[in-house]
């Protein structure tokens, strides 16, 4: 469900436009060759070309960083390119006639306008992008409730907290806003075997929750959180900062009291250790602010997630905090199925669940296997939403929605121990905003009947 901004390919070629001018006798005539009656078609005048200058701004009139613009001419040919820091993009050689200008950027709604292009002239237009709602969702847990006698239909139950932009729970949502859509299998995202390869597909019985309700907040419990932050170049590739850094700083600024927190970062660059700590667990997050504020200055290299998580779990085991620890992995680096199994085993050995704050189902799988929570990062601004809710998630005091769905597979052995079911729950927040949150169910040793 990750959204990437890639350049559109130039499609199609300009085809010569031919027309016929018939005289009363049915013979075609041409101003340049009036005797060419043997050819019923004559070449029409070529279309001229102009240029288009488009500026992409937000609702305040400021340039939108890292936006893309595209122009579709009258024949359907598309050209696209990133805009500059000033918000401008220039397209030359656009066929005269009506054209469509479109703009997009992470965290904004796509927008477009139509404009006429005049030959040998420059058309200047502006497209305004509106910021998307930064609400998101967290999966607290999923389990199998029952299985049909023939083994082909499974009822699963999942707990999902829906968060507004301030990190507070969205209450009062109805079951009509939640849906289990069918998935186009073949991408390794339906039912996978122990080796991580897809072995079967499934379809929802109804797609709507068969049972639904809001579970109120539980009494608060103290916790210790070890934040492990990915500093690989993927952070730059996905334009995560300054949102990511600001969200971590905001979390640490308000982290005071009986709980405790530690901060560590990881990346692989020549001559530097993969994991770097910013000190031991502390009860005042403000002691870690200097290191957190400069995270964006130390981004680069690869992201060795597996050794970094293993080393962090080892540190927690050797120097355990007083409170029950949780490792919080903030990373969008993909983890292969074998790596997830390795980290799940390390998590169990350290008695430390792993909470993942990420944008993909591999991270949701890791959280599910370790008893942790998965928080969806849809676009950079949702880092703020996720970190604002983190203390409530870790303390167990966040209300959530519990719902049941049924799925059916034609493969009778699909829902057997060792296999894993991947799906998405779509949450319709409003007409324009839908959150797709991955739900992963690793099947236990024994499934209920």
CATH number at residue 187: 2.60.40
User: Above 60 in pLDDT, residue 17?
Assistant: no
Task: Identify whether 195 is part of a domain.
Answer: yes
Shared domain for 392 and 428, answered yes or no, is no
Q: How far apart are the C-alpha atoms of 417 and 193, rounded to whole Å?
A: 9
User: Above 60 in pLDDT, residue 41?
Assistant: no
Shared domain for 164 and 204, answered yes or no, is yes
Q: How far apart are the C-alpha atoms of 309 and 327, rounded to whole Å?
A: 8
Shared domain for 282 and 332, answered yes or no, is yes
pLDDT of residue 47: 79
Mean pLDDT to the nearest integer, 248-257 = 92
3-state DSSP percent of the chain in helix, strand and coil, to 5: 20, 35, 45
Give the chain's mean pLDDT. 87
pLDDT of residue 26: 39
**Exposed/middle/buried for residue 19 (C-beta within 10 Å: 0-12, 13-18, 19+):** exposed
Q: Is the dihedral of CA 348, 349, 351, 353 positive or negative?
A: negative
CA atoms within 13 A on the CB side of 208: 4
Task: Identify whether 10 is part of a domain.
Answer: no
Query: Quick check: helix, strand or coil at residue 234?
Result: helix
pLDDT-derived band at 9 (thresholds 50, 70, 90) equals very low
Task: Identify whether 1 is part of a domain.
Answer: no
Shared domain for 359 and 427, answered yes or no, is no
Shared domain for 212 and 233, answered yes or no, is no
Tally the domains of the chain.
3
Mean pLDDT to the nearest integer, 363-373 = 96
pLDDT-derived band at 391 (thresholds 50, 70, 90) equals very high
pTM as predicted = 0.83
Shared domain for 229 and 367, answered yes or no, is yes
User: Above 50 in pLDDT, residue 311?
Assistant: yes
Which CATH number characterizes residue 50's domain? 2.60.40.1120
Q: How far apart are the C-alpha atoms of 81 and 30, rounded to whole Å?
A: 42
Task: Identify whether 8 is part of a domain.
Answer: no
Q: How far apart are the C-alpha atoms of 223 and 320, rounded to whole Å?
A: 12
Shared domain for 365 and 259, answered yes or no, is yes
pLDDT of residue 446: 63
Give 212-231 pLDDT, tens digit per residue.
999 998 899 999 999 999 99
Shared domain for 180 and 249, answered yes or no, is no
Task: Identify whether 12 is part of a domain.
Answer: no
Shared domain for 362 and 244, answered yes or no, is yes
Shared domain for 98 and 169, answered yes or no, is no
Task: Identify whether 449 is part of a domain.
Answer: no
**Alpha carbon of 213 to those of 38, 143, 154, 389: distances in Å?**
78, 16, 20, 21
pLDDT-derived band at 270 (thresholds 50, 70, 90) equals confident
Q: Domain boundary residue among 129, 148, 181?
A: 129
Give 142-188 pLDDT, tens digit per residue.
999 999 988 899 999 999 999 999 999 999 999 999 999 988 787 66
Residue 364: give the domain boundaries. 224-397
**DSSP labels for 174-218?**
-GGGEE------SSS-SEE-TTS-EEE--EESSSS-SEEEEEPPP
Mean pLDDT to the nearest integer, 61-90 = 92
User: Above 50 in pLDDT, residue 378?
Assistant: yes
Shared domain for 170 and 95, answered yes or no, is no
Range with lowest mean pLDDT among 20-29, 125-134, 282-291: 20-29
Task: Identify whether 307 is part of a domain.
Answer: yes
User: Above 70 in pLDDT, residue 257?
Assistant: yes
Task: Identify whether 9 is part of a domain.
Answer: no
Q: Domain boundary residue among 366, 381, 397?
A: 397
User: Above 50 in pLDDT, residue 30?
Assistant: no
Shared domain for 206 and 124, answered yes or no, is no
């Amino acid at each position: 469900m990750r959204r990437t901004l890639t350049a559109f390919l130039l499609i199609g070629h300009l085809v010569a436009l031919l027309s016929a001018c018939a005289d009363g006798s049915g013979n075609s005539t041409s101003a340049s060759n009036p005797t060419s009656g043997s050819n019923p078609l004559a070449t029409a005048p070529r279309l001229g070309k102009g240029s288009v200058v488009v500026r992409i701004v937000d609702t305040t009139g400021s340039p939108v960083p890292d936006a893309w613009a595209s122009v579709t001419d009258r024949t359907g040919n598309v050209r696209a390119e990133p805009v500059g820091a000033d918000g401008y993009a220039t397209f030359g050689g656009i066929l005269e006639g009506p054209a469509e200008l479109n703009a997009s950027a992470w965290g904004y709604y796509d927008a477009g306008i139509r404009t006429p292009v005049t030959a040998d002239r420059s058309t200047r237009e502006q497209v305004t992008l509106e910021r998307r709602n930064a609400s998101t969702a967290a999966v607290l847990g999923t389990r199998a409730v029952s299985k049909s006698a023939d083994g082909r239909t499974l009822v699963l139950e999942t707990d999902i907290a829906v968060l507004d932009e301030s990190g507070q729970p969205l209450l009062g949502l109805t079951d009509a806003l939640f849906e289990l859509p069918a998935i186009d299998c073949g991408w390794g995202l339906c039912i996978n075997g122990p080796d991580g390869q897809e072995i079967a597909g499934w379809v929802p019985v109804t797609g709507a929750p068969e049972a639904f309700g809001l579970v109120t907040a539980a009494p608060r419990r103290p916790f210790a959180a070890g934040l492990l932050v990915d500093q690989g170049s993927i952070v730059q590739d996905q334009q995560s900062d300054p949102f990511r850094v600001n969200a971590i700083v905001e979390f640490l600024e308000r982290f005071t009291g009986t709980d405790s927190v530690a901060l560590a970062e990881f990346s692989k660059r020549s001559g530097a250790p993969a994991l770097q700590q910013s000190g031991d667990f502390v009860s005042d997050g403000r002691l870690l602010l200097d290191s957190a504020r400069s995270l964006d200055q130390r981004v680069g290299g690869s992201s060795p997630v597996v050794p970094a998580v293993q080393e962090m779990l080892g540190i927690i085991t050797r120097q355990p905090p007083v409170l029950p620890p949780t490792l919080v992995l903030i990373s969008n680096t993909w983890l292969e199925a074998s790596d997830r199994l390795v980290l799940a085993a390390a998590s169990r050995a350290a008695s430390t669940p792993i909470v993942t704050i990420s944008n993909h189902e591999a991270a949701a799988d890791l959280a599910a296997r370790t008893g942790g929570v998965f928080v969806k990062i849809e676009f950079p601004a949702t880092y703020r939403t996720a970190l604002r809710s983190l203390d409530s998630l870790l303390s167990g005091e966040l209300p959530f929605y519990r719902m049941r769905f049924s799925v059916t597979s034609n493969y009778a052995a699909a829902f057997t121990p060792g296999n894993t079911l991947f799906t998405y729950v779509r949450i319709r927040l409003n007409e324009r905003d839908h959150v797709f949150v991955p739900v992963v169910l690793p099947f236990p040793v024994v499934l209920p009947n």
